[in-house]
Amino acid sequence: MENKIDVKELDLFYGEFQALIKINFSIKQGDVAALIGPSGCGKSTFIRVLNRMNDLIPSCRITGQALLDGEDIYGDMDVTELRSRIGMVFQKPNPFNMTIFDNVAYGQRMQGIKDKRILADIVENSLKKAALWNEVKDRLKKPAQALSGGQQQRLCIARSIAMEPEIILMDEPTSALDPIATGRIEELIGELKKDYSIILVTHAMHQASRVSNKTAFFLLGELIEYNNTREVFTNPRDKRTEDYISGRFG
C-alpha cells in the first residue's frame, strides 16, 4: 500500500532557530500514528507542517519534502484544497459562534454548496461519524457553545469530517477534557480509523498505547524513533525512548 503522507529529510526554521531536524515520517491509509515526547519537542510544529499552518508565520522556512499521495504539499498544491484533504482538530474545542448545524455545514457552504437537503445529509452523516448525532439531533438550531466540552470537541471532529478529508490531524484533542469525555474521543478514534488516517499528538502515554498502531517519539526537534506502537513501548530501539517511556524524564 502506498503511503498517504511521506516526509523526507524535513528541516523547519523559525528565523535562526531550527525547530525540526531531518524528519523522516510516513503514514498509510487507516494508520493511527501517535506523536509523543516532552513539551516543546516539535510534535505540534510537525503536524502543522502537514496542512501548512506554519505558512502564517513570516519567519518560518522549510526544506526537505512533505508529500501527500506523492504530490509536494509545498509545491503547486492549492492550500484550501490541502486543508480540506487534511483536517485539523485542536487542543481546545473551538466551535464557531453559530448553531450546531451551521458549524458542521460551514466548510461545505464555503465551497459553494447551497442545497438544503444536501447540507442536511452532510451534517447528519458527519455528526453520526463523530458519535454525536443522537445527543444533538433535536437541537441542531441551538448554539454550539451550549454543548459540553467533550461534545464541542466531537462537534469540531464532525466539522472536519464534513469536508471529507483523507487525514485528520489531532493536536492533543483530549487534554482539556474529563476522563469520560476522553474515553468517548478515544473510542471515536477507533471508529474513524476505518475511513481516515489519523495523526494524534498526545502527552498521555497510555492514550498512545491504546489508540495508535504507530508511535513516533520526538525530542528537541528530532524524530528519535518511529515504529509499531507495541515495539516502541515494549522494545524501544533508542535509550532516549526507553528513558522517556519509563518516566526518567519529560
Give the three-class secondary structure for 110. helix
**What is residue 247's predicted lDDT score, i.e. its pLDDT?**
87
Q: Which three cell numbers stand for residue 148?
A: 459540553
Give the three-class secondary structure for 16. coil
Q: In this structure, which amino acid lies at residue 10?
A: L
**What is residue 103's predicted lDDT score, i.e. its pLDDT?**
98
**What is residue 250's predicted lDDT score, i.e. its pLDDT?**
67
How open is the CA angle 88-91-93, to the nearest 5 degrees?
Answer: 85
pLDDT digits (tens, 9 = 90+) for 153-178: 999 999 999 999 999 999 999 998 99
Q: Which three cell numbers stand for residue 134?
A: 443522537
| 8 Å CB contact between 5 and 67 | yes
Decide if pLDDT at 191 tops 90. Answer: yes
- The residues with which 68 forms a beta bridge, in sequence order, are 5, 71
* Nearest partner of 84 among 145, 169, 10, judged by Cα: 169
Separation CA 239–CA 59 (nearest Å): 34
**What is residue 248's predicted lDDT score, i.e. its pLDDT?**
82
Separation CA 92–CA 236 (nearest Å): 31
Decide if pLDDT at 87 tops 90. Answer: yes
Decide if pLDDT at 249 tops 80. Answer: no
How open is the CA angle 8-13-15, to the nearest 5 degrees?
Answer: 160
**What is residue 128's predicted lDDT score, i.e. its pLDDT?**
96
pLDDT digits (tens, 9 = 90+) for 17-60: 999 999 999 999 999 999 999 999 999 999 999 999 998 899 99
**What is residue 56's predicted lDDT score, i.e. its pLDDT?**
87
Q: In this structure, which amino acid lies at residue 101?
A: F
pLDDT digits (tens, 9 = 90+) for 129-139: 999 999 999 99
| Long-range contact set of residues 100-105: C-beta below 8 Å, sequence gap at least 24 | 100/136, 100/139, 100/140, 100/141, 100/142, 100/143, 100/144, 100/147, 100/155, 101/140, 101/141, 103/144, 103/155, 103/158, 103/159, 104/155, 104/158, 104/159, 104/162, 105/162
